[in-house]
Structure formats: structure tokens, C-alpha cells
């Protein structure tokens, strides 16, 4: 059996640490880095090396993955001092799995999925860019995800991620408005979820998030601030290609209201609170 490549992982957030953990479990020699080193502790305990800079990781590994929270940090990890560009050299591979705008994207393969799927290797990987690299990374992709799409030129993966997350964000606000108006009108939230489950719009997200939303459990699988960022970037994409998206624009404003209300670090389903906050306070209306 051929020798496993050495693997680096930059960014130990919810997603990055889950994916890096799977690579360690799969027997890859893994080196990790995070801006605040303390977030590397869990991986170190698992047996991963911890590097002082992104540059050091890239220099010491055959292939390095990154998953950061937003375009700004993605950019600084790549272009900043002690960053990827400082360490990259021929034969060193770098795959950014963040959701970033395309100015930033080099070879990029963002993932679709949240904490749970990441821990279980059930992510969907949206790969694009240099095909040779994709082949080399496939072994790692197989450990991190259940399916990998090859979408063509650099940027296609980022665009796919934005489009799908935008649809997801709208579907979430749709459920929130429905639960809010329905319960205000005297229906039981649990009944609404049951009826949805039996029908054409049943989805894993509605099944998973719905009951938690009714309990007010907003522990973060996918932070709201990242969900809003994706909808905003998708609207920017619409701007670039001349596609109006009034419903996405309205949903974006609801996510912004939730962020403004201090929900940015909660799960994106916490937009439910912002939606209800706009509704009748105190006793329900006519119904």
C-alpha cells in the first residue's frame, strides 16, 4: 500500500477541526495551525503536530487544506505574513475549503454540510480548479466527504457553495415565518412540523432543525453570521451576472436583523428569534 502524503490543515474552527480529526483517524500524518493556538489542543491530543504559522505547515506538508470563516481571514491566511504564499513551492499543494469570494480563490474545494456531517465524513465536497491537484487530494476528500463534485475552473466550487447556501438560507427563513404566523394563529408548532414532514417540502434540515427551534435550542452547527455572509456573497454574485433575487435579498435582511440582535454566533436557525421579534409581542392577536 502506497505511503500516505503528509497533510496540513489551516483553521481549527468547527468545520476544520472536524475534517482534520478525520484525517488523523484515517492514519494521515497531520500538521495543524490556527490563529489562536489554543484551538489546536484537541487535534494535538489526537496526535497531530501543531505549527506556529501557516507558512510552516505548507512548507512541511505534501498537501495543505484550509477552512477559515470569511474572505478576509482566508485572504490573510493566504497572503499575510507567515502565510501560505510565503511557504508554497513546486510540489506543495494547497486546497482552500473555505467559502470565499473568487478574488481569493486559488485551488478551492468548499464543502457543503455542517458539524455533524463533517464529524462523520458525510460532507459534500465542491471541488474546482487544477485537475491534477484534485486527483492527488482525492484520497483526503474520500476521508472528509461522502461525495466529491468536480465543477471545472477555479471559482466554480465557491459559486456552487454560495448558490446552495443561499437556497438553504431562504428555506430556513421560510420555515421561521411559517412557524411564527402559524403559532400566532393558534396552530401547534409541532403539528406544523409534522404536516411538513408528510409533504413535498420535507427535508433533512426541516426535520433536524425544526424541533430544536421550537425548544429554543440554537447551539451552533452552522453559525448564523456565516449563513448571512453566504447569502450576501450570493447576492453579490447576482449583481455580477445581472440576476435580481428579491427573495434572497429579503432573507438576507432577516439574517442581518438576527446578527444585529446578537445572534451571529448562534446556529443560523436562530433567525427564528429575529422573525418572531418583528411579530406581535404579548398576547396573540384575533386568533
Positions 93 through 152 that interact with its own copies (CB under 8 A): 112-114, 124, 126, 146-147, 149, 151-152
d(CA 227, CA 248): 12
Interface map 159-178 toward its own copies (x if CB under 8 A): xx--xx-xxx-xx-xxx-xx
Active-site residue, 146 included: no
Residue 223 CB, nearest distance to its own copies (Å)? Answer: 15
Asked if 54 and 79 touch (Cβ cutoff 8 Å), the reply is no
Q: What are 64's three cell numbers?
A: 495543505
Distant-in-sequence, close-in-space partners of 287: CB < 8 Å, separation ≥ 6: 184, 185, 186
Residues 39-58 that bind its own copies (CB under 8 A): none
Residue 163 CB, nearest distance to its own copies (Å)? Answer: 4
Choose the catalytic residue: 4, 46, 106, 161. Answer: 161
Residue choice 109, 180, 224, 270 for contact with its own copies (CB under 8 A): 180
Asked if 17 and 42 touch (Cβ cutoff 8 Å), the reply is yes
Residues 194-223 that bind its own copies (CB under 8 A): 194-196, 198-205, 208
Q: What are 143's three cell numbers?
A: 476521508
Residues 228-267 that bind its own copies (CB under 8 A): 232, 234, 237-254, 256-257, 259-262
**Which of 66/166 has CB closer to its own copies?**
166
Distant-in-sequence, close-in-space partners of 122: CB < 8 Å, separation ≥ 6: 113, 116, 145, 146
d(CA 58, CA 258): 37
Question: How many residues touch its own copies (CB under 8 A)?
Answer: 83
Query: What amino acid positions are annotated as catalytic residues?
Result: 161
Amino acid at each position: 500500500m502506497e505511503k500516505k502524503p503528509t497533510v496540513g490543515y489551516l483553521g481549527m474552527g468547527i468545520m476544520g477541526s472536524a475534517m482534520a480529526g478525520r484525517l488523523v483517524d484515517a492514519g494521515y500524518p497531520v500538521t495543524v495551525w490556527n490563529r489562536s493556538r489554543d484551538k489546536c489542543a484537541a487535534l494535538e491530543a489526537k496526535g497531530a503536530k501543531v505549527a506556529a504559522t501557516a507558512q510552516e505547515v505548507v512548507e512541511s506538508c505534501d498537501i495543505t487544506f484550509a477552512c477559515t470563516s470569511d474572505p478576509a481571514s482566508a485572504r490573510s491566511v493566504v497572503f499575510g505574513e507567515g502565510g501560505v504564499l510565503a511557504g508554497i513551492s513546486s510540489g506543495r499543494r494547497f486546497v482552500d475549503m473555505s467559502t470565499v469570494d473568487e478574488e481569493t480563490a486559488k485551488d478551492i474545494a468548499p464543502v457543503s454540510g455542517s458539524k455533524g456531517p463533517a464529524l462523520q465524513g458525510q460532507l459534500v465536497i465542491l471541488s474546482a480548479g487544477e485537475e491534477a491537484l484534485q486527483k492527488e487530494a482525492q484520497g483526503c476528500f474520500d476521508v472528509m466527504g461522502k461525495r466529491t463534485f468536480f465543477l471545472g475552473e477555479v471559482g466554480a466550487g465557491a459559486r456552487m457553495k454560495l448558490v446552495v447556501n443561499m437556497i438553504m438560507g431562504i428555506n430556513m427563513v421560510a420555515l421561521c415565518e411559517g412557524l411564527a404566523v402559524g403559532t400566532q394563529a393558534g396552530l401547534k408548532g409541532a403539528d406544523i412540523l409534522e404536516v411538513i414532514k408528510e409533504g413535498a417540502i420535507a427535508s433533512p434540515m426541516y426535520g433536524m432543525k425544526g424541533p430544536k427551534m421550537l425548544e429554543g435550542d440554537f447551539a451552533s452547527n452552522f453559525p448564523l453570521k456565516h449563513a448571512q455572509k453566504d447569502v450576501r456573497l450570493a447576492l453579490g454574485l447576482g449583481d455580477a451576472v445581472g440576476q435580481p433575487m428579491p427573495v434572497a435579498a429579503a432573507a438576507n435582511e432577516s439574517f442581518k436583523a438576527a446578527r444585529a440582535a446578537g445572534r451571529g454566533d448562534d446556529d443560523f436557525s436562530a433567525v427564528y428569534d429575529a422573525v418572531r421579534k418583528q411579530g406581535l409581542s404579548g398576547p396573540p392577536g384575533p386568533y
